[in-house]
C-alpha cells in the first residue's frame, strides 16, 4: 500500500514535466503575439518591442522555458500578462465556481445514472432499458452548447423559472447560489448520465449472471436487496472508474458551459487567457488541470480498495 | 414418515430449437424426512433443471408445463414470488457446485449468513450474531471469529462450501437441495463435506435431494437413488439395491463406466528407450521486491522421474499440488527455475526459445477444458493442420494426415470443415487429441484431459488414449486428481503434494500398498472405495 502510493506519486513527476514542456512549446508555435495584443492596435513597433523585452519574450526559447520552469519548481506560476496578478491567485479566485459546477454535475449524473443503469440491467430488453439506450445515444451526440441554449430558452426565457446566466458566490446565500447552478449542471451532466448509465448497465448485467446472485435469491432476499447489496456492490469498480474518467473529462466540458452561462470559473479563465495570448495563465491553468487529473486517477485507484476487498496494492 | 418433497409428473419444456422438446419429462420423485435421495445423471440430463424448479429459481425460458412440486404439501409451481421468498432458506435451501463463485466476493462471511436471519427472523443484532457464531461452529469451521470476519477469497474451497452450508441450514429447513456440492473440491475435502452434510442432515432430520454425476459419491451418501437420462427417470431404487442389481441398461452402463480403483495390470517394456527424464526440477514463483515484502511460492520442488517409450506415467495430486506446474515446465510453457528436463538426449530446461522451437513438435499437450482449448472461430481442420503447416508440411499432406487422425479418434473425417461449437464435449476432446497427434509427438501430456467429461464419455476417451499410446508407441504423461482414472491408464504413478513428489513407483505398488501417509489419506478419501466399481 505504502509502496504503491510512493510509486504513484513519483509517477506524477514525469507526467507533469511532459505536460509543462508540451504546453510551453505549443503556445510558442501558435500564431499571435501577446505583446502586440497588450500594446493594442495603434501601438508603434518600438512600443511592442519594448513590451516584448519586458515580458522576457525576446530571450531564446530555451532560456524562457528555463526561467518559467525554475519558478514553477519554486512554487511560482508567474504573473498574468493580462490580469496583472499572480497566476496562482487568479486560479484561487476562479476555482470556486468551477468546483461548484463540477461537483453539482457529477452528483446529478451519479444520482440519475446509477439507478437508471441498474434498473435497465435488471429489466434487460424492457421498455426502460430501450429508452435508456436511446437516450444515451442522444446524450452522447448532442453538443453541450446546443443543449445549453435549448434549456435556457425553455426553462429561463419561456417558463422564467431560473436565471438565464451568471453566478452567485456561495458566500452570498445558498438559495441564489444553487438557483444559478441548476441549469449549467443539468446541461453538463447529460453526457455523463449517458456514459455512466451505460457502463452501470453493462457492469450490473455481467454481475447478475454470477453464481452469488443465484445464492442471494436462494436465500429468499427481495429483488431490491439482491440488486443493491449484491449486484451493485460487485459492479462498482467499473462504475467508479468511469465516474473518475468523467470528472477528468469535465474539465473540457466546463470551458464551453461556463462560457455559455457566463460563469467566472477556470473554464472561462482559460478561454479569456487563450484569446489574450496570456501565456503564464494558460500554462498555469493547464498544469493545474493536469495535476488535478493525476490526483483524481490516484483517488479512483485508492477507492477500489474500499469497494473490492480482493484488491491489494 | 411424511414426504417433505413430492414431485409429481413434472414436465418442463425447453425453448424452441433445443435438441429435445422437454428438459424434464414426467418425473415422479419423493424425498422423505431425514432421507438422502441422490439424483444421478450425465450432463444435460436435466438434474439441475429439476433442482432449480424446486427452488423456484428456474430461468424464464424453462417453464413447467405440467405436474406439481409439493413442498410439505404446498405446490411450489403455484406459489407467488413473495411466497417463494418466504419459503427459500426457511423451508427449503440449496447449495451449489462452485463454492468459489457462489459467495458474494465483496461481503464478509458473517454478513452473508446474518442477512438470512435479518430477512427471515425478528432476532435483534446481538441474537443474530450469536446464532451465526453457533452455526459456524456447527459446520466445524476452525477459528470461528476469524472465519466470520473473512471475505470469501481468504478461505479455501472447502471452507467456503462450509459457509454455504451454514447459510443453507441456519433456518433449519426441511429440505436441502445439494447441486453437485463436492464436484469442484479435492477428494479429501469432498470426503469431509460429505461427512458434514450427513451429520447435519441426521441431526436436524433434513430431507436431502443430492444431485451428482459421480457414483462414488452416490455410494458414500445416498439412501435412495434416482437415475435420470435425457430428462426422464429410468430407475429409482435404494442405494444397495441399485448398486448391486441395476435393472435398466443405462444404469448398468453408467455403473460399468466407473473406473476401478484397482490398477489394471499391463506389461510394459522396462528396457524401452527413455523419452523423458527430469532431475531435481523446480519452479519457484516470486513476487514483490521494490518496497514490498518479497514472497516466494514453491510450486514444484525436487521433481525427478523417468518415462520410457510406450509407458504412461501418472502424476496424481490435489489442487495446488504442483502437478500442472510440472507438466507446464516439461512442455516449456513456463521456464523451470532449476533442475534438468531431458527430452531424449536434449536438455530443454535451459534451452533458448529459438533453439527450442524445432523440438516443440515432440511434446504435445491435451488440456482439461475441451470447451476453451479450441479456437471457436476456426474449423477443426484448421486447428489440426496448423501445427504441421508450421513445421513445413504441405497443406494437402497435412489435410490427409488430419483425415486419418479423425478416423483414429473415431470422428467422421468429413467433419473437418465444421466449427468446435458443433461438437459435444467428448468429441471436442477427441479433436484436441487429434490435434496433438498431428505433430507426431514422442511425448503426449494429458493434463486432466478427461476430468471435465461425463463418466461414460470419459471411459471411451481413456480407452482411446490407451489404444493410441500402444499403436503409436508414445510416452504419455497423465496428470490427474482422480485415483480411479490413474489406476486404469498408468504404469507408474508419482503422487504429488505441496510441490513435492511424496511417493513414486509402479501403479501396482502405489495402489496396492501405499507407503506415504498422504497417499494413504488420498485412498481413504476416495468416494465409493467400499464398492467394487468397474470389476
B57 closest CB neighbour out of A7, A218, A308: A218
Residue B265's pLDDT is what? 66
Residues A40 and A167 in one domain: no
A212: which chain B residues are within 8 Å (Cβ-Cβ)?
101-105
B119 closest CB neighbour out of A3, A220, A233: A220
Residues A94 and A227 in one domain: yes
For the beta carbon of residue B503, count every other beta carbon within 10 angstroms: 20
Residues A130 and A171 in one domain: yes
Nearest CA in chain B to A215: B102
Give the pLDDT band of residue B63 (cuts 50, 70, 90): confident
| Of A73, A104, A138, the domain-final residue | A73
CATH of the domain at A93: 1.10.3720.10
Asked whether residue A5 is assigned to any structural domain, the reply reads: no
Residues A26 and A175 in one domain: no
Mean pLDDT calculated for residue range B298-311:
92
Asked whether residue A6 is assigned to any structural domain, the reply reads: no
Mean pLDDT calculated for residue range B470-477:
90
Residue A106's pLDDT is what? 93
d(CA B418, CA A116): 43
Using the predicted structure, report yes or no on whether residue B93 has a pLDDT greater than 60.
Answer: yes
Distance from CA of A108 to the nearest CA of B (A): 26
Residues A219 and A141 in one domain: yes
Give the pLDDT band of residue B291 (cuts 50, 70, 90): low
Asked whether residue A9 is assigned to any structural domain, the reply reads: no
Asked whether residue A98 is assigned to any structural domain, the reply reads: yes
Residues A93 and A173 in one domain: yes
CA atoms within 13 A on the CB side of A139: 21
Complex confidence, ipTM: 0.82
Number of domains in chain A: 2
Mean pLDDT calculated for residue range B105-116:
94
Residue A257's pLDDT is what? 85
d(CA A195, CA A140): 8
DSSP symbols for B280-343 = EEEEEEEE--SSS--EEEEEEEEEEEEEETT-EEEEEE-TTSSHHHHHHHHTTSS--SEEEEEE
Asked whether residue A3 is assigned to any structural domain, the reply reads: no
Give the pLDDT band of residue B44 (cuts 50, 70, 90): confident
What are the residues facing B176 on neighbouring strands? B93, B208
Asked whether residue A144 is assigned to any structural domain, the reply reads: yes
Interface of A with B (CB under 8 A): 2-3, 6-7, 210-212, 214-222, 225, 229-230, 233-234, 236, 307-310
d(CA B7, CA B236): 13
Using the predicted structure, report yes or no on whether residue B534 has a pLDDT greater than 70.
Answer: no
Residues A63 and A160 in one domain: no
Residues A67 and A101 in one domain: no
Do the strands B492-497 and B500-506 form a parallel or antiparallel pair, or are they unpaired? antiparallel
For residues A274 and A82, is the Cβ–Cβ distance under 8 A?
no
B115 closest CB neighbour out of A2, A6, A219: A219
Using the predicted structure, report yes or no on whether residue B535 has a pLDDT greater than 60.
Answer: no
> CA geometry: angle at A111 spanning A107 and A115, to 5°?
155
| Of A73, A101, A117, the domain-final residue | A73
Q: In what order do the strands lie in the sheet with B338-343?
A: B295-308, B274-287, B338-343, B346-347
Question: What range does the domain containing A26 cover?
Answer: 18-73
Residues A159 and A136 in one domain: yes
Q: What is the tens place of the pLDDT at every residue in B48-58?
A: 999 999 999 98
Interface of B with A in 372-401 (CB under 8 A): none
Asked whether residue A40 is assigned to any structural domain, the reply reads: yes
3-state DSSP call for residue B180?
coil
Residues A93 and A200 in one domain: yes
What value does the mean pLDDT of chain B take? 90
Residues A54 and A194 in one domain: no
Interface of B with A in 54-113 (CB under 8 A): 55, 57, 84-90, 93-94, 96, 98, 101-107
Give the pLDDT band of residue A125 (cuts 50, 70, 90): confident
For residues B428 and B369, is the Cβ–Cβ distance under 8 A?
no
Least confident range of A61-65, B130-134, B314-318: A61-65
Residues A45 and A190 in one domain: no
Residue A165's pLDDT is what? 81
Least confident range of A189-193, A195-199, A257-261: A257-261
Give the pLDDT band of residue A4 (cuts 50, 70, 90): confident
Tell the burial category of A310 from Cβ atoms under 10 Å away from its Cβ (0-12, 13-18, 19+): exposed
Asked whether residue A10 is assigned to any structural domain, the reply reads: no
For the beta carbon of residue B397, count every other beta carbon within 10 angstroms: 12
Amino acid at each position: 500500500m505504502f509502496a504503491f502510493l510512493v510509486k504513484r506519486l513519483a509517477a506524477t513527476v514525469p507526467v507533469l514535466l511532459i505536460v509543462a514542456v508540451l504546453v510551453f512549446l505549443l503556445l510558442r508555435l501558435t500564431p499571435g503575439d501577446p505583446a502586440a495584443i497588450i500594446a493594442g492596435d495603434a501601438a508603434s513597433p518600438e512600443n511592442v518591442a519594448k513590451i516584448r523585452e519586458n515580458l522576457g519574450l525576446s530571450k531564446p526559447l530555451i532560456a524562457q522555458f528555463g526561467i518559467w520552469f525554475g519558478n514553477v519548481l519554486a512554487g511560482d506560476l508567474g504573473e498574468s500578462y493580462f490580469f496583472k496578478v499572480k497566476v496562482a491567485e487568479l486560479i484561487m479566485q476562479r476555482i470556486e465556481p468551477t468546483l461548484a459546477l463540477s461537483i453539482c454535475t457529477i452528483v446529478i449524473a451519479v444520482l440519475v445514472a446509477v439507478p437508471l443503469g441498474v434498473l435497465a440491467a435488471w429489466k434487460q430488453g424492457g421498455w426502460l432499458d430501450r429508452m435508456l439506450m436511446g437516450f444515451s445515444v442522444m446524450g452522447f451526440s448532442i453538443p453541450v452548447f446546443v443543449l445549453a441554449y435549448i434549456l435556457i430558452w425553455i426553462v429561463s426565457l419561456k417558463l422564467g423559472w431560473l436565471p438565464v446566466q451568471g453566478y452567485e458566490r456561495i458566500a452570498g446565500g445558498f438559495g441564489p447560489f444553487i438557483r444559478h447552478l441548476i441549469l449549467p449542471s443539468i446541461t453538463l451532466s447529460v453526457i455523463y448520465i449517458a456514459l455512466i448509465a451505460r457502463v452501470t448497465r453493462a457492469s450490473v448485467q455481467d454481475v447478475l449472471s454470477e453464481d452469488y446472485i443465484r445464492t442471494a435469491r436462494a436465500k429468499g432476499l427481495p429483488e431490491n436487496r439482491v440488486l443493491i447489496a449484491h449486484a451493485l456492490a460487485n459492479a462498482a469498480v467499473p462504475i467508479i472508474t468511469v465516474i473518475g474518467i468523467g470528472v477528468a473529462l469535465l474539465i473540457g466540458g466546463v470551458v464551453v458551459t461556463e462560457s455559455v452561462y457566463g460563469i467566472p470559473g477556470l473554464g472561462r479563465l482559460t478561454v479569456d487567457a487563450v484569446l489574450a495570448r496570456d501565456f503564464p495563465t494558460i500554462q498555469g491553468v493547464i498544469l493545474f488541470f493536469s495535476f488535478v487529473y493525476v490526483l483524481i486517477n490516484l483517488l479512483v485507484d485508492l477507492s477500489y480498495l474500499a469497494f473490492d476487498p480482493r484488491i491489494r496494492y | 414418515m411424511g414426504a417433505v418433497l413430492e414431485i409429481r409428473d413434472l414436465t418442463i419444456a425447453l425453448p424452441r430449437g433445443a435438441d429435445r422438446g422437454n428438459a424434464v419429462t414426467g418425473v415422479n420423485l419423493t424425498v422423505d424426512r431425514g432421507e438422502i435421495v441422490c439424483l444421478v445423471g450425465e450432463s444435460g440430463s436435466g438434474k439441475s433443471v429439476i433442482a432449480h424448479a424446486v427452488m423456484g429459481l428456474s430461468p424464464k425460458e424453462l417453464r413447467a408445463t405440467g405436474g406439481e412440486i409439493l413442498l410439505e404439501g404446498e405446490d411450489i409451481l403455484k406459489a407467488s414470488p413473495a411466497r417463494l421468498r418466504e419459503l427459500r432458506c426457511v423451508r427449503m435451501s440449496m447449495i451449489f457446485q462452485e463454492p468459489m463463485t457462489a459467495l458474494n466476493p465483496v461481503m464478509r462471511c458473517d454478513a452473508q449468513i446474518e442477512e438470512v436471519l435479518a430477512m427471515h427472523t425478528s432476532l435483534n443484532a446481538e441474537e443474530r450474531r450469536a446464532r451465526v457464531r453457533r452455526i459456524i461452529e456447527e459446520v466445524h469451521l476452525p477459528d470461528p471469529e476469524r472465519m466470520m470476519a473473512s471475505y470469501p477469497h481468504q478461505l479455501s474451497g472447502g471452507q467456503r462450501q462450509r459457509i454455504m452450508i451454514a447459510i443453507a441450514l441456519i433456518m433449519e429447513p426441511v429440505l436441502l437441495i445439494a447441486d453437485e456440492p463436492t464436484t469442484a473440491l479435492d477428494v479429501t475435502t469432498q470426503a469431509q463435506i460429505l461427512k458434514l452434510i450427513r451429520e447435519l442432515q441426521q441431526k436436524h432430520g433434513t430431507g436431502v435431494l443430492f444431485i451428482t454425476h459421480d457414483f462414488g459419491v452416490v455410494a458414500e451418501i445416498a439412501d435412495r437413488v434416482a437415475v435420470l437420462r435425457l430428462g426422464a427417470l429410468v430407475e429409482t431404487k435404494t442405494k444397495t439395491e441399485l448398486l448391486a442389481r441395476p435393472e435398466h441398461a443405462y444404469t448398468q452402463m453408467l455403473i460399468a463406466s466407473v473406473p476401478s480403483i484397482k490398477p489394471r495390470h499391463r506389461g510394459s517394456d522396462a528396457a524401452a528407450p527413455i523419452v523423458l527424464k527430469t532431475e531435481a526440477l523446480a519452479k519457484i514463483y516470486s513476487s514483490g521486491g521494490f518496497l514490498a515484502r518479497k514472497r516466494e511460492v514453491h510450486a514444484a520442488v525436487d521433481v525427478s522421474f523417468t518415462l520410457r517409450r510406450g509407458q504412461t506415467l501418472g502424476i496424481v495430486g490435489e489442487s495446488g499440488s504442483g502437478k500442472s506446474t510440472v507438466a507446464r515446465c516439461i512442455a516449456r510453457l513456463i521456464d523451470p527455475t532449476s533442475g534438468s528436463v531431458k527430452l531424449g538426449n536434449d536438455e530443454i530446461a535451459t534451452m533458448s526459445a529459438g533453439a527450442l522451437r524445432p523440438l516443440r513438435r515432440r511434446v504435445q499437450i491435451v488440456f482439461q477444458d475441451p470447451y476453451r482449448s479450441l479456437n471457436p472461430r476456426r474449423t477443426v481442420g484448421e486447428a489440426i493442420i496448423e501445427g504441421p503447416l508450421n513445421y513445413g508440411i504441405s497443406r494437402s499432406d497435412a489435410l490427409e494426415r488430419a483425415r486419418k487422425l479423425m478416423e483414429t479418434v473415431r470422428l467422421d473425417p468429413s467433419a473437418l470443415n465444421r466449427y468446435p461449437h458443433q461438437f459435444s464435449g467428448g468429441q471436442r476432446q477427441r479433436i484436441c487429441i487429434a490435434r496433438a497427434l498431428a505433430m507426431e509427438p514422442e511425448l503426449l501430456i494429458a493434463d486432466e484431459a478427461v476430468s471435465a467429461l461425463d463418466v461414460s464419455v470419459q471411459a471411451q476417451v481413456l480407452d482411446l488414449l490407451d489404444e493410441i499410446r500402444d499403436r503409436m508407441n508414445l510416452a504419455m504423461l497423465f496428470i490427474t486428481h482422480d485415483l480411479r482414472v490413474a489406476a486404469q491408464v498408468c504404469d507408474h504413478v508419482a503422487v504429488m503434494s505441496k510441490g513435492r513428489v511424496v511417493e513414486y513407483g509402479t501403479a501396482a505398488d502405489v495402489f496396492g500398498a501405499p507407503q506415504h501417509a498422504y497417499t494413504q489419506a488420498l485412498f481413504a478419501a476416495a468416494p465409493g472405495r467400499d464398492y467394487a466399481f468397474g470389476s
